[in-house]
Amino acid sequence: MSEIPLLLLLLLVIAILLRLDFVYYLVYVLAGSYILARWRTGRNLNQLRIVRRYTDHIFLGETVGVDIEIANTSWWPVPWLRCDETSPHSLATGSGAIRQVIALRPKERTRLHYDLVGRRRGCYELGPALLSTGDLFGFAEAHGRMEQRDYLTVYPRVIPLGQLRLTSRSPLGTIKSQQHIFADPARITGVREYRAGDPLRSVDWKNSARVGQLQVKKHEPAVSLTSLIVLEMNTESFGRQTRVSASEWGIVVAASLANHLVGQRQAVGLACNGLDALTGAACWTISPRPGRVHLMRLLEWLARVQTTETPPLADWLPAATVDLAWGATVIIVAPTGDEAICRASHRLLQRGLNPVLVVIESYYQFGVVRERARRLGFTAQMVADERDLRQWAFAAAGAQRLII
Partner 1 sequence: MNPTQAPRHPSFQDYQDISWTNSAYRSLLSAVVATSAIAAPLAVMQTITAWRLGYLLPMAFAAALEGVYSTLQLGRPRWRDRRGLAFRLGEIALWLVLARAAVWAFATGWPGLVELARWLRDPILFFDGQFVVTGVLFLLAWGLSIGLTGDFLDLALRPDEVAAHDSHEWGDSRSQLRVYYPVSRGAIVNRLAARWIWGGLLVVFCAAVSRVEISTSPRFTQIGLSQLGLPREILAALLCYFVAGLLLMSQARLAVLRSQWYNGDLQVPPTLLRRWPLNSLLTVLLVVAIAALLPIGSTGWLATALETVLAFLMRVAYLVLTVLTFLFTLLLYPLSFLFRQPGAQAPPPPPRMEIPTQQQAVSRLPDWLGGALLWVVLVLIGGYFLLNYLSAHGLLSGRWREWLQQLRFWWRARWAGLRAHAHTAAVTLRKRLQSARLTRLEVLGGRHIRLSALAPAERIRYFYLRAIGRAADRGLTRPPHKTPLEFIPDLVSEWPEADVDVKALTDAFVAARYDRRPIVADEARDVQGVFRRVMAALRGKADLTADGRKADRTPRVEKAL
Closest approach, Cβ 136 to partner 1, in A, equals 4
Amino acid residing at 70: I
Q: Dihedral of the CA atoms 180, 182, 184, 189 (nearest 10)? A: 0
Q: Please select the residue that binds partner 1; options are 38, 54, 69, 82, rule is CB under 8 A.
A: 82
Q: Dihedral of the CA atoms 274, 280, 281, 283 (nearest 10)? A: 20
CA atoms within 13 A on the CB side of 232: 27
Q: Is the peptide bond before 128 cis (omega within 30 degrees of 0)?
A: yes
β-strand 150-154 against 57-58: which pairing, if any? parallel
| Interface characters, 221-240, with partner 1 (x: CB under 8 A) | --------------------
117 binding partner 1? (CB under 8 A): no
Please identify, among the stretches 24-32, 158-166, 265-273, 343-351, the one whose residues bind partner 1 according to the rule CB under 8 A.
24-32
Amino acid residing at 33: S
Beta-carbon contacts of 56 under 8 Å, excluding residues fewer than 6 positions away, are 150, 151, 152, 153
Closest approach, Cβ 28 to partner 1, in A, equals 4
38 binding partner 1? (CB under 8 A): no
21 binding partner 1? (CB under 8 A): yes
d(CA 231, CA 354): 16
Q: Please select the residue that binds partner 1; options are 23, 71, 203, 395, rule is CB under 8 A.
A: 23
Is 28 or 394 the residue whose CB approaches partner 1 more closely? 28
Q: Please select the residue that binds partner 1; options are 48, 53, 67, 100, rule is CB under 8 A.
A: 100
Residues of span 131-170 touching partner 1 by CB under 8 A: 134-138
Per rule CB under 8 A, count of chain residues that contact partner 1 = 44
Beta bridge partners of 370: none
Please identify, among the stretches 20-28, 156-164, 254-262, 389-397, the one whose residues bind partner 1 according to the rule CB under 8 A.
20-28
Residues shown for the chain: 404
d(CA 333, CA 258): 12
Residues of span 197-226 touching partner 1 by CB under 8 A: none
Q: Which residues bind partner 1 (CB under 8 A)?
A: 1, 3-4, 6-7, 10-30, 32-33, 36, 77, 79-80, 82, 95, 99-103, 134-138
